[in-house]
Amino acid sequence: MEHVNAPMGALKGVRVIDLSRVLGGPSCTQILADHGADVIKVEPPTGDETREWGPPFEKDENGDNIASSYFIGVNRNKRCISLDLRTEEGKAVLLRLLESADVLVDNFKAGSMEKWGLGYEQVLKSKFPKLIHCQITGFGADGPLGGYPGYDAAVQAMTGLFSINGSPQSGPTRIGIPIVDLGMGMNAVIGICMALIERHTSGLGQAIDISLYDTGVALQFPHGSNWFMSGNRPKRVGNAHTNVAPYDLFPTKTQPLFIAIGNNGQFRKAMEILNKPELAEDPRFVSNGRRIENLAALTAEITALLADLDGAQLNEQFLKAGVPAGLAQSVDEVVNHPHTIHRKMIVEDDGYCGLAAPVKFSRTPATFRSKPAPFAAHTYDVLEEAGYTEAEIDQLIGLGAVVSRRNT
């Protein structure tokens, strides 16, 4: 990820008004911003609540908290202002900003925009026919759960992701990252980019409906496909795979090693490296289906073979031979790994450190242009661009429509 000051990238020229907070929406808009979109983050008067989701916190010279690592992780490359959309003046400012916008992203509770007189079908569609409005909600606007609020872990539970994670001993277990929020953010980026492409043909924007619930359901792979075909409820298998073997985390003399074998050729190579090629010819293990049927025996054989081996050395042997494998590393080991550094997956600049953009373009790379901004840091810049004078901005601040300090 290159460090430049001017917006550039595949989405250069796209302007996004970001009304979202927490994670799903901000992760979406950070991806858009990394790739050149001009993202204006519009926070409520109390600010994005993840500014308080710590420790750890970034601190100022007086030792006071500025923002949490959680907020900083998904809000770079954005310009920040704050509006009170409960006021007529605040809504008028938003509508002014939308005159030059391509995309609007919000993750308010379903119906909030309509309640404020800012609904897509009622107002925005006719007023801004080219606008793409991406609405992110917990469960959508209608249906049995429509309108209810949603957070990642609760939706993980409701969409069955807990049920397929963990082991028989652990019981249902939350996936250790906010996978539904992050998946929803990626789905939102995909939807926005598709809508931008379609707009070239039609000349029209449209509304995009993205929900946590739909994202969680769509992540049920291969367990959904397995259930459709077999009718059997998935079982928790720990680190193993329900359809492929050997595909599990194994102890070694040093560090646990995950072996992810997807075909018979890889299995033969692995057994040769482990000096037990006859296992590949064993009738119990000659095919993936047979290996799944005899998984306990296979696991016992491999566990015994790895007990006295160095995990790192074996991992290198496997990878060089074309056998997928990976050491179970901690976060600090990952961010300091030579390949992470080679792939430029860490951004460091002026006290900022974050995970870089994973999508690599040959001509229009993602860029790092600015650290996550303090609350309302770009108020005058953004509003002056929209045609407001300094006196008008001061007046809007005095009315409470534009907010310059967080209402904590």
Residues 154-191 pLDDT 10s? 999 999 999 999 999 999 999 999 999 999 999 999 99
Residue 7 pLDDT: 73
Residue 303 pLDDT: 97
For 121-179, the DSSP string reads IIIIHHH-TT-EEEEEESS-SSSTTTT----HHHHHHHTTTTTTSS-TTT-S---SS-H
Residue 31 pLDDT: 98
* Contact status, residue 1 vs residue 356, Cβ threshold 8 Å: yes
Mean pLDDT confidence for 281-306: 97
Residue 62 pLDDT: 82
- 171: alpha, beta or left, given left = phi > 0 and alpha = psi -120 to 50? left
Mean pLDDT confidence for 247-275: 97
Mean pLDDT confidence for 195-203: 98
Residue 211 pLDDT: 97
Q: Which of 56-70, 149-163, 235-249, 281-295 has the lowest mean pLDDT?
A: 56-70
Residue 59 pLDDT: 86
Question: Please, what's the b/e burial string for 329-360 (b: 16 or more CB within 10 A of its CB; e: otherwise)?
Answer: eeeeeeeeeeeeeeeebebeeeeeebebbeee
Residue-averaged pLDDT of the chain: 96
pTM for this entry: 0.94
pLDDT class for 150, splitting at 50, 70, 90? very high
pLDDT beyond 90 at 138:
yes
pLDDT class for 70, splitting at 50, 70, 90? very high
More confidently predicted of 58 and 402: 402
pLDDT digits (tens, 9 = 90+) for 358-374: 999 999 999 999 999 99
pLDDT digits (tens, 9 = 90+) for 298-334: 999 999 999 999 999 999 999 999 999 999 999 999 9
CA distances from 397 to 21, 79, 99, 373, 405 (A): 22, 18, 21, 19, 10
Residue 96 pLDDT: 98
CA distances from 287 to 125, 165, 230, 283 (A): 56, 26, 20, 8
pLDDT class for 205, splitting at 50, 70, 90? very high
For the chain, list the domains and their CATH numbers: 2-219+356-399 (3.40.50.10540), 247-335 (3.30.1540.10)
Sign of the Cα torsion 134, 135, 139, 143 reads negative
DSSP state, residue 401: S
Residue 408 pLDDT: 79
Two tokens at 165? 């994670």
Residue 221 pLDDT: 95
Distance of CA 135 to the CA centre of its chain: 16
Catalytic positions are: 181
Residue position matching structure tokens 């801004």: 128
